[in-house]
A and B are shown apart, each in its own frame.
Chain A
Amino acid sequence: MESDEGDEQQQEAERLPLSQRPEWSDVTPIPQDDGPNPVVPIAYKPEFSETMSYFRAVYYSNERSSRSFQLTKEAICLNPGNYTVWHFRRQIIETLHADLQDELAFVGRIAKSNSKNYQLWHHRRWVAEKLGTGAVNKELQFTKKMLSLDAKNYHAWSHRQWVLQALGGWEDELDYCQMLLGEDIFNNSAWNQRYFVVTRSPLLGGLIAMRDSEVNFTIEAILGNPENESPWRYLRGLYKDDTESWINDPRMSSVCLKVLSTKSNYVFALSTLLDLICHGFWPSEEFREAINALNTPDSGPLDSDLGRAICRVLECVDPLRCNYWLWRKSKLPLTVSSQ
């Protein structure tokens, strides 16, 4: 039923026009109707126009046959963004009960050169859903392969998350995140996936149960690269919806202090400290000292209110966000001590 596997690349060089293929001789191709006054008409290659004209013929007559099926493959290769063709292909698959493993293989072959194509990934999801839990390993393998080519491919990550939630396979996911972070601690997609696993895996105890070890792991990552935004946000995320526990965890302010003491790459440390203060954390004197010690170019004495002092430092050391820090300062609660 299906033509040769892996013939997608060959098609261009050896292609026989549809008008010359005996199996298509009974079909009248339908040209594209651009209306009476086409504006900016696309200069299609003859091969493209012909393929789509035959597609229109079988599409409008709703012919769900094996020749239509083959034709959709050709049309997809010519324009993988044509969602109408993909949709019709799915309808044909259902009618003919086409082999779904073959279909996964087809998608797999064109995935590398179409890795950011919405239609391809949606199609893959549709096929995998039909296959059910049996497809888990293959889908995890596939997304792993795609992510090895581009560790931040948004579609690949979405698909992987869908697979985990719909079909399962959570067992090795935390390890997988760990591995990716080992390769690149700055990979925010991997941090996001870690959050996904930690909060949603049915095999782990849930966020609260995981929190302690996650905090320790994250702090280590922060201390290794304090300029890395990802673990700072992840750390905050571990205490989402639990501000009380967040401000009361001594490790929060302690990591800020540690980074501040190095006097380098401390923007996120300051920002985190500011957030802690805004949510009710009472900083001890050592924080005041650490900030004084930064010796940021400044005109005038540091504010007696630590929140304001932090904002002032940030206005200077993070000038791109100067107005943001000014705005944050303006939203700080008034304190009795500010002169």
Chain B
Amino acid sequence: MPHLATTYAAVNALISLGGEKSLPSINRSKVYTFLKCMKDPSGAFRMHDAGEIDVRACYTAISVASILNILDDELLQNVGNYILSCQTYEGGIAGEPGSEAHGGYTFCGLAAMILINEADRLDLDALIGWVVFRQGVEGGFQGRTNKLVDGCYSFWQGGVFALLRRFHSIIGESPTPVDQRGAECSIDNTQTTTASDVSEGDGSSDEISSQGDEHCHFQHREREPLFHSIALQRYLLLCSQDPRGGLRDKLRKPRDYYHTCYCLSGLSICQHSWLKDEDSSPLPRAVLGPYSNVLEPVHPVFNIVLDRYHEAHEFFSRS
């Protein structure tokens, strides 16, 4: 029996492979039929025939429909209402209405809302106010309040900032006027790498002002993500890496492909989180460790390498 999780994974895998054999091999009209069958009267989706309904199903369905360019009104109808009903009093999003706010479902809910252009219906201030507190003293993110950090949430939670940065003007909007006070916690000791961390770098970003006055400092901080990117990278590089290769939840947990995928995606998000445009290379100070640590940028909605996403987007908009 077909299932939305496997459908999502397969489509993303094929698109990640890319090329003239992979992309055309997807039978879009059959996928559409399947998605229609999974649609529930409530507006949400089931994971499989007579299967469970939750925010994951909404995301995987909408994500696949969107990237294959088969998303229509019938599919997206009322999805927004369902996801909205899953935002909790904490600010995060739950799997089902009433359940606890959770990182995985928060990512799924927000990404789906962005795809159907209804992100504004969520209380984004509350959402940001929740996600930002999910970063723990270890540098990694926890999935829920008062639970332990886990490497995979580097993407689910960390990705929320990338989503809002890229697709929503709530962060990085023109702020109220310039900060005029004396020196605050400086950029250099809170967010950036130390000299020993960076082996090389061009340092010639046109955002760095030679003057160092408050206005330019502020412009700098505007470019930085709202979470502590360096701390998260530190957690990923020092705690999530398995010495034999692959990545994991945390120390003393076994490595697996799921954690390898999401830890790496999280790391990529961090490295590319300083800038607003997708096309520029990451700033050296945004990257913990040698610049050779830089990963391919991923599309924060689909979690696919950006180049592959563009190829697929172009291919499927032609058909």
Interface residues of A (CB under 8 A from B): 83-84, 87, 90, 118, 121-122, 125, 152, 154, 157-158, 161-162, 165, 186-189, 192, 195-196, 200, 228-230, 233-234, 236-237, 240, 299-301, 303, 308, 312, 315-316, 319-324, 326-327, 329-334, 338-339
Contacts and interface: CB of A to CB of B under 8 A. Distances in A.
Interface stretch (B20-28, B35-43, B58-66, B130-138): B130-138
B98 interface: yes
Contact of B231 (A158, A161, A320, A339): A320
Contact of B175 (A161, A188, A301, A331): A331
Interface in B71-111: 88-91, 95-96, 98-102
B221 interface: yes
B146 A230 contact: yes
Query: Which 6 residue pairs of A and B lie closest in terms of their CB atoms, listed nearest first?
Result: A237-B89, A300-B182, A330-B175, A188-B145, A192-B100, A122-B52
A192 B88 contact: yes
B195 interface: no
Contacts of B89: 195, 233-234, 236-237, 240
Contact of B133 (A90, A154, A195, A321): A321
B180 A323 contact: no
Contacts of A329: 179
Contacts of A320: 135, 137, 139, 228, 231
Interface of B: 1, 3, 47-52, 88-91, 95-96, 98-102, 128, 130, 132-133, 135, 137, 139, 144-147, 171, 175-177, 179-185, 190-191, 218, 221, 224-228, 231
A337 to B, nearest CB: 13
Nearest to A88: B1
Contact of A323 (B1, B183, B191): B191
11 contacts: A122-B51, A192-B100, A300-B181, A301-B182, A303-B181, A320-B228, A321-B132, A322-B185, A323-B225, A323-B228, A331-B176
B131 to A, nearest CB: 10
B1 A330 contact: no
B256 to A, nearest CB: 14
A333 B175 CA distance: 10
Do most interface residues of chain A lie in helix, strand or loop, or is the interface mixed? helix
B226 A299 contact: no
Given A323-B228, A324-B132, A300 B191 contact: no
Nearest to A333: B176
A228 B3 CA distance: 39
B98 A237 contact: no
Contacts of B100: 154, 157, 188-189, 192
B98 A316 contact: no
A312 B181 contact: yes
A97 to B, nearest CB: 18
Given A83-B48, A84-B1, A330-B218, 16 more contacts: A122-B51, A154-B100, A157-B99, A158-B99, A161-B96, A165-B98, A188-B145, A192-B90, A195-B89, A236-B89, A300-B181, A312-B181, A320-B231, A324-B132, A327-B171, A330-B176
Contacts of A125: 52
Contacts of A122: 51-52
Contacts of B135: 320-321
Contacts of A186: 146
A39 to B, nearest CB: 11
A94 to B, nearest CB: 11
User: Max chain A CB contacts within 10 Å: which of B133, B171, B180, B231?
Assistant: B133
User: Max chain B CB contacts within 10 Å: which of A154, A195, A237, A312?
Assistant: A154
Contacts of A308: 181
B181 A322 contact: no
B190 A188 contact: no
Contacts of B49: 87
Contacts of A321: 132-133, 135, 226-228
A161 B176 contact: no
Given A236-B89, A300-B182, A315-B185, A87 B1 contact: yes
Nearest to A59: B1
Contacts of A162: 96
A230 B100 CA distance: 12
Given A152-B147, A233-B145, A161 B99 contact: yes
A198 B182 CA distance: 47
Given A186-B146, A187-B146, A316-B185, A323 B50 contact: no
Contacts of A323: 191, 221, 224-228
Contacts of A83: 1, 3, 47-48, 51
Contact of A154 (B48, B52, B102): B102
A243 B130 CA distance: 18
Contacts of B171: 327
Contacts of B132: 321, 324
A152 B144 CA distance: 10
A332 B176 contact: yes
A224 B317 CA distance: 58
Contacts of A334: 176-177
